[in-house]
Amino acid sequence: MSHTTRSSGRKKSSRSAWIIIVIVVVLAVAGIIVGIVVSSNQVGPTPTPTVSPTPSPTKTSTSTPTVTPTPSPTSSPTPSPSGSTSPSPSPTVNPTQAWANKTYGIFATVAWSHTGSAVVVLPKMVGEQVKGGILTFTNNAADDSDFVVQVLDQDGNPMGDPQIAVRGDYAGTVGYGLAAPEINSDAVPTTVRVTSSGNWAVEIAAVSAAPMGLGTYSGDKVILMPAPKNNTLVVNYGLVGGRFGVNYYYQDQLTQILVPLSGAQVDDQSFALNGVPGLIAVNSGGQWTVSAIN
C-alpha cells in the first residue's frame, strides 16, 4: 500500500515539471517572435524628412507702385541724305520786311482811343530802342477843328515837323522816326502828342507791317518798296488844290524827298530809286498810284 502511494507522487511532480518547461518554451518563442517583429520595424534610424523651402510670396498690387516716368520725346535720327533726296527748302524771308525790322525795330501792334487832346506813349522793345514805326489815325473832328499829331523824343522835344496837321476829319497812316535824326543823334521817339477836340483812335505798328508794293491808294500812306529793277512811276489824282508829297527812305534811315509837299497836283512823274529795299511815305488829299515803268 505504501509503495503505490510513492509512485503517484513522482508522476505528479514530473507532469508539473513538463508544464513549466512548455510554458517557458512558449514564452521564449513568443519573445523571439516579438523581437523579430520589433527588429523588422526598426531597421535603421528614421530619416529626417527634407523640408522644401517655402517660396517667397510674390508682391501684389498692394505694395508701393513703381512710378514710370513719362519719357521725353526722342528725336528721330536724321536720315543720311541719299542721292535721290532733295533737301527741304528753307522758308523764304521777305527781304523788304527783314530790312524794315532790322532798321526800325519790331514790336507788337497796339491800339488806343481817346476824346480830346492827349499824349500817347510809343512802344519799346526789350533790350533795345525802337527807332521808328507807323501810326494809323482816325479823327472825328468837332466843328472843323484842328487835328495835329506831333512825335516827341525822350526829352519832350518835337522830332521834325508834325506828322499830321489838318482841319476836320482824318483817316490815314503816317510814319515816325523813319529818317535818322538830323540834330540830336541820340534822339529816340517816345511819345505822340495828339491835339484834337473830337473822338480819335490810333493803331501803332512796326514799319514791316506796312502794305507792300505798287498799287492805287488814297490819302496818307506808308508803303514798303522792294528793291526796284527800274524807275518807279508816281501818279497823283488828288483834288485840285489838295496836298501831295512823297518821301523815300532806304538803307540806314537815309531819306530822299521825291515830291515836296505842296498843294499842286502832280501827274506822271518818275523817280530813280536806289536799287535796295525801302519805303515811301505819301501825304495826299486824294487818290494816288504807284506803278513801275513798262
Q: What pLDDT, in 10s, does the model give residues 233-262? A: 787 776 666 788 899 999 889 999 988 888
Q: Which domain holds residue 252?
A: 211-294
Q: Decide if 277 is inside a domain.
A: yes
3-state helix, strand, coil in the chain (%, to 5): 20, 35, 45
Return left, alpha or beta for 177; rule: phi > 0 is left, psi -120 to 50 is alpha, else beta: left
pLDDT tens for 45-65 read 444 444 444 444 444 443 333
Task: Identify whether residues 201 and 216 lie together within a single domain.
Answer: no
Return the minimum-mean-pLDDT range out of 105-109, 144-148, 222-226, 262-266.
262-266
216 domain-assigned: yes
Here the cell at position 68 is 514710370
**Pair (153, 166) in one structural domain:** yes
Residue 180: which pLDDT band, with cuts at 50, 70 and 90?
confident
Per-residue CA distances from 36 to 46, 147, 288 (Å): 18, 139, 139
Does position 194 have pLDDT exceeding 70, yes or no? yes
CA 197 from chain center: how many Å? 44
Same domain, yes or no: 167 and 195: yes
**What total number of domains does the chain contain?**
2
Residue 224, domain member (yes or no):
yes
Using pLDDT thresholds of 50, 70 and 90, give the confidence band for residue 96. Answer: very high
Q: Is residue 158 part of a domain?
A: yes
Q: Does residue 138 fall inside a structural domain?
A: yes
* Residue that is written with C-alpha cell 543720311 in the block: 80
Q: 221 with 242, same domain?
A: yes
Summarised one tens digit per residue, pLDDT across range 259-273 is 888 876 667 778 888
d(CA 286, CA 294): 25
Q: What percent of the chain stands above pLDDT 70? A: 65
Among 177, 210, 243, where does a domain finish?
210
User: Which region among 55-69, 201-215, 245-259, 277-291 has the lowest average model confidence (pLDDT)?
Assistant: 55-69
CB 279 within 8 A of CB 217: no
CB of 217 closer than 8 Å to CB of 289: yes
Tell me which residue of 175, 172, 247, 162 sits closest to 205, measured CA to CA: 175
Specify the residue for cell string 512811276: 233
Residue 137 and residue 194 share a domain: yes
Q: What's the pLDDT at 44?
A: 41
Same domain, 248 and 177: no
Residues 160 and 197 in one domain: yes
Residue located via cell numbers 488829299: 285
How far does the chain reach from its first CA to its final CA, in angstroms? 191
Q: Which residues contact 197 (CB under 8 A, 6 or more apart)?
A: 116, 117, 141, 142, 143, 145
Classify residue 226 by burial, with Cβ atoms within 10 Å: 0-12, 13-18, 19+.
middle
The residues with which 113 forms a beta bridge, in sequence order, are: 201
Residue after which a domain boundary falls, among 210, 244, 261: 210
Q: Looking at residue 250, what is its pLDDT?
A: 93
Sheet holding 221-225, edge to edge: 221-225, 278-284, 244-250, 254-262
Query: Between these two residues, 125 and 286, which has the higher pLDDT value?
Result: 286
Q: Which residue type sits at 95? A: P
Closest CA to 115 of 139, 133, 82: 139
Mean pLDDT of 56-77: 37
- The percent of residues above 90 in pLDDT, for the chain, comes to 38
Greater pLDDT, 41 or 176: 176
Mean pLDDT for 196-224 is: 93
Examine residue 125 and state whether it is found in any structural domain, yes or no: yes
